[in-house]
Amino acid sequence: MRSIALLGSTGSIGISALDLVREFPDRFKVHGMVAGRNLKRLAAQIKEFSPECVAIKNEEDIPLLRKIMGKHRVEILSGLAGATTVATANEVDLVLAAIVGGAGLVPTLMALRAGKEIALANKEALVMAGEILVNTAKQNRTRLLPVDSEHSAIFQCLQGNRRDEVDKIILTASGGPFLRTPLKRLDKVTVEQALKHPNWKMGPKITIDSATMMNKGLEVVEARWEFDMEPDRIEVVIHPQSVVHSMVRYQDGSIIAQLGITDMRIPIAYALAFPHRLKGSWKPLELTRQGELNFLPVEKKRYPALSLAYEALREGGTMPAVLNAANEVAVAAFLGKQIGFRQIHRLIDKTMQDHTCRRTKDVDEILEVDRWARAKTSSLINGR
């Protein structure tokens, strides 16, 4: 029985993880949950899974959560301190880090320092402070287990093989909803169109990231730290069917790929139960029903956000944190219909240009840069 702290319980990853807890009650129990402001969903989760403690974003929401829960009682914490308390509780064996955005960095880092295994769905934490997180895991003799479908695929393709014989990591991307949209029409796409991902059901932020391909850019940065791979050995290819989740090419030219249906419960289950595989309720992949599998090069003019991510990774230091923060603010502005779709990458580019990169291993300094980048991008939006 593994005791889990679930950071981001009301999001899409959290909901899928709780599906697994429900399906495998003899393997997993939830000790703690962290959520934002979806109090009704959180209250329902608390009533079903009976965690020992929960943390929510805002302290002022605690009375409302208690009211929604009725007679059910649980310890309720709030803010960053509350999330950290949940993530570092003595009873916790594994932390599923699924808080969207930079807000997940500090609780994840504190959990690593407490010696917890991390099932990492929060790619932004590694983008902001990859070297710090990886080194902290090593120092505390614990593991970062990937949850993203692409990184889980790479992790699986590396099992039983020598890392020094890896030639290249190949991340696959669906291309999002605008793979074949004429370039001249991208300035006019709507929020509703951008949220219609062709293959995956995800939260709004990551769905927009998929449409711009910033999600793949963040995954390139994540892969650099998770698998100790230099940027020029991480390739992105378009694979519209999303059947091959990613691949590893070895020095003899052989490519090992991981294939599966588009169901996030599979990589989540692999991380939670590693090194075991669970026989879940999902249907297996039937290759004979898939038809063709296509692989295409990335069109840079269509997806300039990917180039910005490579640029930030090569620059190193605090630049990836700026990339991530600017993207979060720009995507939120697009979802709020304040800016157009193509303005997202332009705002990120401008914010990166205005940043003087620093070399640091201090989390507080990274968080300071994160705040600067958010304020800078916001000012560009308001003064456009």
Alpha helices in 233-318 (DSSP H): 265-273, 304-315
Same domain, 90 and 113: yes
- For the cut 80, the answer to whether the pLDDT of residue 368 exceeds it is yes
Residue 311 lies in a domain: no
**Domain housing 153:** 148-303
- CATH of residue 354's domain is 1.10.1740.10
142 and 154 in a single domain? The answer is no
Q: Identify whether the C-beta of residue 358 lies closer than 8 Å to the C-beta of residue 318.
A: yes
Given 127, 146, 165, the domain boundary residue is 146
Joined tokens for residue 244: 């091959």
Alpha carbon distance 257, 255 (integer Å): 6
Instruction: Specify the CATH number for the domain of residue 138.
Output: 3.40.50.720
* Least confident among 60-69, 168-177, 186-195, 200-209: 200-209
- State whether 114 and 55 are in the same domain: yes
Percent of the chain with pLDDT over 70: 100
> Is 308 a domain residue?
no
Per-residue confidence band for 384, with pLDDT thresholds at 50, 70 and 90: low
Read off the pLDDT of residues 115-167 as tens digits, 9 standing for 90 and up.
999 999 988 889 999 999 999 999 999 999 999 999 999 999 999 999 999 99
Q: Phi first, then psi: give them for residue 229, nearest 5 degrees.
A: -125, 130
Asked if 343 and 379 sit in the same domain, the reply is yes
pLDDT band at 71 (very low <50, low <70, confident <90, very high): confident
Residue where a domain terminates, one of 79, 111, 146:
146
Same domain (yes/no): 283, 347: no
pLDDT of residue 104: 86
Say yes or no: 276 and 330 in one domain.
Answer: no
* Per-residue pLDDT, 261: 94
Specify whether the CB–CB gap between 197 and 210 falls below 8 A.
yes
Number of domains in the chain: 3
The helix (run of H) or strand (run of E) holding residue 322 is: helix 319-335
Grouping H, G, I as helix, E, B as strand and the rest as coil, residue 64 is helix
The pTM of the full predicted model, rounded to 2 decimals, is 0.90
The backbone torsions φ and ψ at residue 296, rounded to the nearest 5 degrees and listed phi first, read -130, 150
pLDDT tens figures, 231-264: 999 999 999 999 999 999 999 999 999 999 999 9
